[in-house]
Amino acid sequence: MPIQSLLSGNEGAFGPDEIHVLSAAFEQTLSALRLADRSDPVVTIVAKRIIELAKQGERDPTRLRESVVNSLCA
């Protein structure tokens, strides 16, 4: 599941540059968590968490990745 499918419900919330950052953070997070199966429910959790953090103002892909990884591995 690509993050774009979840972002489609947030029209206007993110511009093209922000979508690029969120997509990069999503891919980096999946790699860090070694999630290859896009049908794994954790992939959806990752995408939703990244979007949630971005709505709160975070735009740095590294911090997005670290926040999600830390929240899932804690």
Q: How many helices and strands in the chain, by DSSP H and E?
A: 4, 0
φ, ψ of residue 6 in degrees (nearest 5): -80, -30
Label residue 59 exposed, middle or buried (CB < 10 Å: 0-12, 13-18, 19+): middle
Look-up of token digits 């990069």? 24
Q: What pTM was computed for the model?
A: 0.87
Q: Per residue of the chain (74 residues), give pLDDT as tens.
A: 567 777 776 666 788 899 999 999 999 999 999 999 999 999 999 999 999 999 999 999 999 999 999 999 87
